[in-house]
Structure 1
C-alpha cells in the first residue's frame, strides 16, 4: 500500500508537469535514435519459430515441423536469409541429424525420421540461419524434446535426487529405480556406473539393485557444474538383453535454493518506496515457492515475501538511509535462510512503470535530493525507438504512454542522463491489441466417429475485422493419447515475442499467454527479474562497432584455397566445379593472389556430389585444394537444460504405450520401415567393428563383409563407384546395386532403415564402418520378399569404432559432397472412402499435419480422416500474415464410437 500511496501522491503532484516537460527534439534523443538506427541497420534481429506436430515422440516416429523466420520489431517474414539449419541434438550435445531447408520469404517445412533403434532420452531441436549466429546461441531456437523407446527398450528408470547435510557438509545422492515395461523391479542386478561431465568421467563405481530395484549413488557435492549439466551412465546386467546402458541427466544443486533480488528500474534510493522483485531457483534449476519477511538492522519487519508464480514475486518497502535489510526465507522442505538485500543509494533516480488498464502505461520518475541534472526517457523495441522525451527539470516527471505506440513484445524503457549515460532501465511486455491476428477455426460437426471425414474452416482477420493473407500450419493430435501441458507447450507467441529476446532461461513461457489476469501480472514480474541483452547501450552510443562474423546466407557458397604442396598460394589458378552425377554442370573460376576461389549463389540438393579440380597458371595439377567449412555452433551450455526430464520414459508413458501398439500393428501388416531387433550376437574379431550393425541375422552373419579399413584411400565421389567390382555377385547400374543373378535390384538397409541407392550414394565413404552383403536365401531370407534379390546392410560410424581415414585424395582434385537442401516428405493421411486397409488398427497420434495452409481472401479449408480411436482431438493452428501479425488458435472436438 505504501508503494501505491507514493505513486498516487507523485502523480498528483507532477501529473500536469509531465504533459509539458518534454522536448522530443533534444540532441540526446536524436543521438540515441540515430545510433539505434545505425545498430539495427547493421544488426537486424532475426528470429525463428518451429511449429511441431506433437510435444514429444518415441523412436520410430516422424517429427514434422514448419519454420517461420521473422525480422525487425514488426515481425515481418524474413526476405533475405535463404537457408535454415535445423538439428536434432541428444543430451550429450551430439548432433544426430541435421537438415538444411530452403527458405521462401521466411517460410520452410521439414521432418526428421526417428529410427526404431534410437535411444530414449532428452533431445533438442535447434534452428537458426547463418546470420543469427552473430547474436550468439542464446538467441537461436532451441527446444527440448523428450523421445521415448518402448520397442527396443526393456529397462525403464526413475531417478530422484536428494540433498542432505552430514557433519556440516552437503551430500548429494541419486536414487535410481530400474523396472521393466510392466513395472516389475529388477532386483539383485549388478550395475556399473560412471558420473560424467562433458564426456569426461568424474567418478565411477559398481553396485547391486535392492529388492525394489533401487540403486543409491553419491555425487560430488562440490562440483556445481556437474550437478547442473552432468549425467550418470549406468549399465545394468541380467535383464535378458545383455548389459543395458541408460543415460540419466543430473538436475540438482547442493545447498539451498538460489535467490536473487531485483529493484525496479535497477536502483533503490533511500527515502523512496521501492518495488523489489525476486526469483528463487530450486536445486533442479526450476522455480520454487518461498515465503518469509524482510527485516531491518533492528530486526523489525518491513515487508513480507511470498512467491506468486514459479519462484518469482515482488514486494514493496521504503529503505531508509543508514539502515540495512535482509530477507528471511522458508523453503518448501522447512529449511530456512537469510539473504542480504542490495544496498540502497542516497542519490539517484527511481523509475516506476504502472499499467493503467489494458491500453496505457504510466511512467513516473523521481530524483533523490542532491541529484542534479535533467534526464531523458527512451522507449524502444527491437532497436526501434517508439517513445522519447526529456524533462525540463531535474526532480520528477510523469507521463502516460499508450501501448499502441509499441508493437507486441518486449519494450525497454531507459532513463539517460543529459550526457547520455544510462541510469535506470525497466522492461515491459506490451500486448498491443491493434496487431492482434484473429484466427477462427471451426469444424463442420461438433462430434465425429472414428475414421470419419473432417472439414476444418479457417478464417483469418486483422484487428479491424478485415480478411488477411497469411501462411499457417495445422496439427491435429489425439489428445487422449498425447496429453499436453499447455504451460510448457511450444507456442509461437511465447517464442517470437518473449523467449527469443531474453538471454536467460524462462520456465514455462507459454503460461504467460493463456489470457488470464494472473498470467499477465506474473509476466510483469518476469520482466522485473529477466534482463534484456540484445545490445549494450555503451557500445551503441559510443558507436563501438560489433562486426558480424557471419553474413546473411541467401544460397550456398563453395569456396576454398589452392596452394602448392609446400603451402604457398597459387594465384591465377584455374578451378573447376563439376557435378559428378551427370557431368552436365561444369563451371570454372580463377584464384586470387592469395590462392582463394569461390563459387557463389549455388543451390544444390542434399544428395548431389561434386568434384573440385584445380590447376596452376601453367596448367599443372601439382596443387593442393583445401575447402572452407563453417562448423555448426557449439551445442554445449544449453540454457534450457532445466527442461530436460530426469525420467524420460515415464514422462511419455501414455503416448509410448500407444506407439508400441501401433508398431506391432504395422509389423503385422508389413507397413512402416521398422527394424526387428534380435538378441545380441557375439562376434569374434569383428565384434568391435560390427557392434552397431542392424543385420537381422546378427552382426557379421553375411556372405561378405567389408570394413572401413578395406575402403581406405578411395577417392571416389559416389559410394557405388568405390564398391564396383569389390562385392561378390553385385553390380552397380547407374549407382543402383543389382544382383548378378537376373539383374534385380537389391534391398539397401542403412543403419537399420530401409533406404535406396540415392541415399546410399550420398554417404561419404569415410563415414561408412561396414558393408555386409546378403545374397543367399539363408542370409537374405529373413528380409522376406524385399530381400529376394539380396541385401546390402550398411552401417555408418558412431564414433566408438576403429577408423581408418585416408591421408589425402591426391593433388589437383578432391571430391566434395556438402550438405545440400533437404526435400521434405509429404505427410501421409489415409482416405477411408478410397477403400483403405481397414483391417489394421488406426492408432495414429498425429491425425493430420499440413504446413502450407494459405488464406487468400482470409479463408481456407482442409479435409482429413480421423484415426480409428475415440477420444478428444486437438487442433492447433499457428502462423503469420503478410503484415507480420502473429496468430494461434486451438480447437477441440470429440470422436465417439
Structure 2
C-alpha cells in the first residue's frame, strides 16, 4: 500500500475494520485480476474486399505487464444487425498478438463493429471488452452512390407528415437520372412506408409519407434499393423538429442527493444517434423557484451545484425546437452522506470533502474511506463525522496516471458514496520518428528510425506497431481512441465515449473540466464491493486460458465423476499429420490436454476408455468457449456517402481497385493469375442406388461437428424449412398429397422416400409387404448425433431422399458413440506478412493506389531504445501519415504521429522528404 500524507479535520479512528476490508478486497483482486485489451489498426476506413490489419496488446490491469491468464483473444466482426459474421481467435505470446480480417465477397457494405475479448474478461462484463465501430463502404466500381437528404416535418391530426427530398449521384458527382428505386422507411425491423420512384433528370426524388405519432425516432432508417443492380443504401433517419428526442440523464456526485447538503450534479444529453448534444436550461423546484441554470460544456456533458430542501422536488426544464421539456432530477434522500472530490483547484493536491446530515453526525458511527487506482488499493482509513464533516488533502504524486476511485463504506460494509477522478502525470513513453535520408522519390525504398525513451530519458526495450497511410485517401483522426486513451480512460468507463483522444490532445483547464465531468457522468467499471464482501467467495464463471488447451469433465451414468479414465485426443493436420495425445482424468473426473499445437483450423476427436482399456460409458463434458452476447452501444453512425464533404473520403472510395476474385486474396498470388472463367452450372446431381436427384441442401463436416450431440432430426429441423414428420404428404413429386396413417419424414408436403446411410438404404418393407416402413428412417434420424456424421445431402429428383456419411461407416446400424466426441474449436488466425510491393523505379506504369503504404505490427526496439523499418513509397508524390504505438509491457506505453512528404521527381530540383 502506498503511504500518503493526510490532513484530517476529524481524528482517524481504529483502522482494524479498514485493514479487514483491504484484506477482503485484495483477496478478491488476487482471485479475479482484471485484464485490459487494446487493438491498433492499420487505418480507420475500409471498403469491401479490403483487409483489416491489427495488433493486440493484453495487459494485467493493475501493472500493465503481460496478462498470464489468457493465451488467446477472441475477435468478432459484428454487422449492424447485431449478427456475428466472423469469429476467430488470435494466439497471444507475452501479451502480444496480431491478426487480420479479410472483407471478402461475403461482407456487404454497412456499419461494423470489431469486438475483442478473452474468455476471462467475460467475468467482468462487456464494458471491459475492446470494441471499434466503423463503416465498410462500396468502392465506385461497385456502383456506389452519394446521397443528399433534406426533409420538412409537418404535424397533422393523423400523425406527422414528412416531405423528403433526395439527390443521388455517383462518386464523380454525376447525377443518377431515370433510375428505378425503392424507398423504404423502417422502425427497427418493422416497415412503416414503402414505395417505388423514378429519379428525375437531376437525380432527384420527392417523397411524402405519414410518420406515426408513437414511432421511435431512435430506430428509424431509410433504405434505398437500386432496382437495376440491387445495391442497397441504408442510413439513420432523424425527423428532428418537434419530434427531436433527447435523453437527459443526471448523476449526483457520490451517487445520491441528500436534503440540506450541497452536491454537484453531472448531466449528459444524448441525441437519437447515441451521441452527446448541446442543451441548456434551468433547474426549478416544484414551487416554481429557479435554483440554477445548466448548460453543456463538451459532448453533451456538464454539471451544476444544488442544495436540495426537504419540502421540494426538482426538475430540469429546457426548450428544443419550440417545445418545452421537463425532466425530473433524482429524488433526494432525507438523510445520508455527500461526497465531493476536488481535482481541479490545485495542480499538486486533491481534496476530499465528506458531509453528513445532523442526525448521522450525532450517531457518531465509524465509516471507512477506500481509495483505489490501477487495480490496487492505495489507502484505507476509518473516521467518524461527529462534527458533520471531514476534509482530506492528498498529494497527487502518490497516485499513478489514470482513474482513481473513492468509496465511503459504513460499519456494515455497505458502500454509501463513490466518486472517480482522473489524474494525469504526462508520463508516457517518448517516441521519435526520424528518416536518415533527406531525398525520396515515388517508388523509392524509405527507411525510418525509431527512438524510444521513458519520461526520464532512459532508453526502452518494447514492441511497437507502425502504420503508414496515404493522406490522399486516409484522414487520421487525432481525437479517436488510441493506446493512451484506451488504457488510461475508456477501458474503465461505462458506455460509449466520444472522441476520447481529445482529452489527451491538450493540457489546459477546459480539457481538465471536461474530463472531470466525463468521470462524473459515465462512472467506472471498477471494483464491485457488493460482490467482494459476500460471505461465500465468488468463483469465476469463465475460466482463464493460460495456454492452448482443451479441458473438461467425465461423468458416469449416475452423474458422478469418472476418475482414472484414459482419454485419447486425435486430430489430422496438413502440417503435422496425425496428432495423438493422451491423459487421465483425476479424482474429480477432470482432464486437461495442455499445450496443443497452434493450427488455424482443426477438429479434435476424443475417446475415453475405462481402467481396463475398454470403451467407457462416461459422458465427455468439454469446457467449450461460449461467446458473449451481442449488445449494441446505441450509437448509429451515419454512412460516409451521406452529405460528403471530406475530399479524402471521396478519393478513398473512388480510387482505382485491383482485380477481385471470389475466394482469392490477390496479395498472396505469387505468379501470373489467369483470367477468371465463370462456369454456369446448376445444382450438383447425385446418383445413389435407385435414386437420382439434385442436391437442395448440404451439411458439411464443420457444421455437423459444431452441432455436437444434437440429433440429425433436430439439426435439419432447424436448418431446413418444412422438415419434420407428418401424415399428409405425397410419395413422389408427381403424386398428390393425401393423408396416411403411418407418419413419415417430410419436407413440406413431399415424403422423404429414403435415408441412404453409407450407401445403405433404410427403406425396409412393412410387415404386410405393401410398402416401405418409414418409421425406420425416423428412428435413425432421431437417434444419431450430428458429430457422428461427416456429411448430409438432401436431394430431390423423382423422389426426395437424404444421403448420410457416418464416421464409423456402419450404415444404418450406426449408433451414438457415448465414449467418442468430436469438437471443432474457434479457428485461430495465425500471423501473416503484410503485402509489400517492390516497385521498379524505372517503370512508368501506374500502380494501384494503396491507402495503407506499410504496416509493421511488431517493431522491437533494442537496449538503446532504437529500431528501424523500411518500405516502398507509392508511385505518386504526396504526403504520408506515420502512426506508431506500443508498450514495453512493463507499465509504460506511448503514441506518436508524424508526416512524410514525397515530392515529385524534378530534374532541376531535389526531392525533399521530412518527418515532422
Q: Structure 1 length as normaliser, TM-score? A: 0.76
Q: Which residue of 2 aligns with 1:339?
A: 327
Match of 1:493 among 466, 475, 484: 484
Match of 1:46 in 2: 35
Equivalent-residue separation in structure 2 for 1:134 and 1:93 (angstroms):
21
The reply to whether residue 506 of structure 1 matches residue 497 of structure 2 is yes
Q: Does 1:68 align with 2:51?
A: no
Structure 2: how far apart are the matches of 1:625 and 1:28? 48
Matched, 1:463 2:455: yes
The CA deviation at 1:464 is 2.0
Q: Which residue of 1 aligns with 2:678?
A: 697
CA contact (8 A) 2:9 2:392 kept: no
Q: For residues 527-552 of structure 1, give each alpha carbon's deviation from its aligned partner in whole angstroms, at most 9, with x where no partner exists.
A: 11113243432222334533211111
Counterpart for residue 630 of structure 1: 624
CA distance in structure 1 between the partners assigned to 2:126 and 2:900 by the alignment: 39
1:290 CA displacement: 1.0
Shift, 1:287, TM fit? 1.1
Relative to its length, the structure with more helix (as a share) is 1
Match of 1:853 among 859, 862, 874: 859
- After TM superposition, list the pairs within 5 Å mapping 1:173-188 onto structure 2: 178-183=168-173, 184-185=175-176, 187=178
Residues 571 and 617 in structure 1, CA contact (< 8 A), matched pair in contact too: no
* Deviation string, structure 1 residues 19-52 (Cα, Å, up to 9, x no partner): 4645386123212211210221121111110000
Alignment of 1:856-875 (within 5 A): 856-857=862-863, 858-875=865-882
Residue from 896, 901, 905 that aligns with 1:894: 901
Residue of 280, 285, 309 corresponding to 2:269: 280
Whether 2:596 is the aligned partner of 1:602: answer yes
Residues of 1 paired with 2:167 and 2:903: CA distance? 39
SS in 2 for 1:509: coil
Q: For 1:37, what is the secondary structure of its paired residue?
A: helix
Contact persistence 2:263–2:307 (CA under 8 A): yes
Question: 1:380–1:413: 8 Å Cα contact kept in structure 2?
Answer: yes
User: Per-residue CA shift, 1:648-678, capped at 9, x if unaligned?
Assistant: 79598744644553415899xx993699xxx
CA distance, structure 2, for counterparts of residue 77 and residue 24 of structure 1: 39
Tell me whether 1:327 sits opposite 2:306 in the alignment: no
Change in Cα spacing, 1:347 to 1:553, as seen in structure 2 (3 Å) is: same
Q: Which segment is superposed worse, 450-459 or 39-48?
A: 450-459
Please report how far the alpha carbon of residue 297 of structure 1 lies from its aligned counterpart in structure 2 after TM superposition. Answer: 4.3
Map Cα deviations across residues 47-69 of structure 1 (whole Å, 9 max, x no partner): 11000010111112111111000
Query: Which whole-Å CA distance do the structure 2 matches of 1:850 and 1:41 have between them?
Result: 36
Quote how far apart the aligned CAs of 1:370 are.
2.9
Compare 501-510 and 608-617 and name the one that shifted more. Answer: 608-617
Aligned to 1:387: 379
- Which of 13, 21, 30 aligns to 1:32? It is 21
> Given the superposition, is the C-alpha separation of residues 69 and 24 from structure 1 closer, same or farther in structure 2, using an over 3 Å criterion?
farther
Determine which of 618, 621, 641 is the counterpart of 2:635: 641
Conserved in 2, the CA contact under 8 Å of 1:251 and 1:642? no
Determine helix, strand or coil for the equivalent of 1:76: coil
Structure 1 counterpart SS, 2:478: coil
Written as runs of structure 1 = structure 2, the 5 A alignment for 1:365-404 is 365-372=354-361, 373=364, 374-394=366-386, 395-404=388-397
What's 1:420 paired with? Answer: 413
1:749-788 matched pairs, under 5 angstroms:
none
1:213 aligned onto 2:219: no
Structure 1 residue 368: Cα displacement: 2.9
Match of 1:877 in 2: 884
- Does residue 1:661 correspond to 2:655, yes or no? yes
- 1:390-441 C-alpha deviation (Å, 9 max, x unpaired): 33543222222122222222211112234433222211012134x4322222
For residue 527 of structure 1, the aligned residue among 495, 503, 519 is: 519
Shift in CA distance, 596/603, structure 1 to aligned 2, threshold 3 Å: same
| Deviation per residue, 1:151-172 (Å, 9 max, x gap) | 5632536467987654496788
**Alpha-carbon shift at residue 377 of structure 1 (Å):** 2.0
The secondary structure found in structure 2 opposite 1:474 is strand
Alignment partner of 1:123 out of 112, 115, 119: 112
CA distance in 2, matches of 1:671, 1:168: 55
**Per-residue CA distance 1:799-833 (angstroms, 9 max, x = gap):** xxx9989596445466654344322211123344x
Pairwise mapping of residues 73-112 of structure 1 onto structure 2 (< 5 A)?
73-112=62-101
- Correspondence for 2:464 among 467, 472, 491: 472
Q: TM-score, normalised by structure 2?
A: 0.74
**Residue 586 of structure 1 pairs with residue 580 of structure 2:** yes
Aligned to 2:731: none
Quote the Cα distance in structure 1 between the aligned partners of 2:271 and 2:324.
13
Say which SS state the counterpart of residue 545 (structure 1) adopts.
Answer: coil
The counterpart of 2:446, out of the listed 454, 467, 478, is 454
Q: Does 1:313 align with 2:302?
A: yes
Alpha-carbon distance in structure 1 between the residues aligned to 2:627 and 2:446: 43
Give 2:279's match in structure 1, choosing from 290, 297, 321.
290
CA distance in 2, matches of 1:529, 1:129: 28
Asked whether the equivalents of residues 603 and 821 of structure 1 are also in contact (C-alpha less than 8 Å), the reply is no
1:146–1:652 CA contact under 8 A, matched in 2? no
Q: 1:150 to 1:408 in 2, by over 3 A?
A: same
Q: CA deviation at 1:701?
A: 7.0
Distance in 1 (alpha carbons) for counterparts of 2:684 and 2:282: 77
> In structure 1, how many angstroms separate the alpha carbons of the residues matched to 2:248 and 2:294?
12
Residues of 1 paired with 2:620 and 2:234: CA distance?
A: 39
Query: Conserved in 2, the CA contact under 8 Å of 1:666 and 1:840?
Result: no
RMSD over aligned Cα atoms:
4.3
Q: Structure 1's 400 and 456: CA in aligned 2 closer, same or farther, altered over 3 A?
A: farther
Please state if 1:244 is matched with 2:243: no
CA contact (8 A) 1:614 1:621 kept: yes
* Equivalent residue pairs, number: 775
- For 2:284 and 2:685, the matched residues in 1 are separated by 79
2:139–2:655 contact (8 Å) kept in structure 1 = no
Question: Which deviations, in whole Å up to 9, do the C-alpha atoms of 1:752-783 show, x marking residues without a partner?
Answer: xxxxxxxxxxxx9769999xxxxxxxxxxxxx
How much does 1:121 deviate?
0.7
- What 5-or-longer segments of structure 2 have no aligned partner? 670-674, 687-692, 706-788, 809-815, 905-916
1:843 aligns with 2:833: no
Matches of 1:174 and 1:31 in 2, distance apart? 65
1:200-251 Cα shifts (integer Å, max 9, x gaps): 6565744335641355666666465xx54676665441x2x2x334454567
- SS of residue paired to 2:657: helix
Spell out, residue by residue over 1:681-721, the C-alpha distance to the aligned partner (whole angstroms, 9 max, x if none): xxxxxxxxxxxxx9852642799899765866989999xxx
Taking structure 1 as reference, are residues 186 and 884 closer, same or farther at Cα in structure 2, changes over 3 Å only?
farther
Instruction: Find the residue that maps to 1:284 and give its secondary structure.
Output: coil
Larger Rg belongs to: 2
Q: Is the 8 A contact 2:431 2:451 kept in 1?
A: yes
The 3-state SS of whatever aligns with 1:63 is strand
Q: More deviation in 348-357 or 574-583?
A: 574-583
Q: Determine the C-alpha separation between the residues in 2 that align with 1:769 and 1:869.
A: 55
Q: Distance in 2 between matches of 1:560 and 1:807?
A: 28
Cα distance in 2 for residues equivalent to 1:34 and 1:68: 30
8 A contact 1:157–1:176 mirrored in 2: no
**Structure 2 residue corresponding to 1:59, chosen from 48, 69, 89:** 48
Q: Give the equivalent residue in structure 2 for 1:756.
A: none
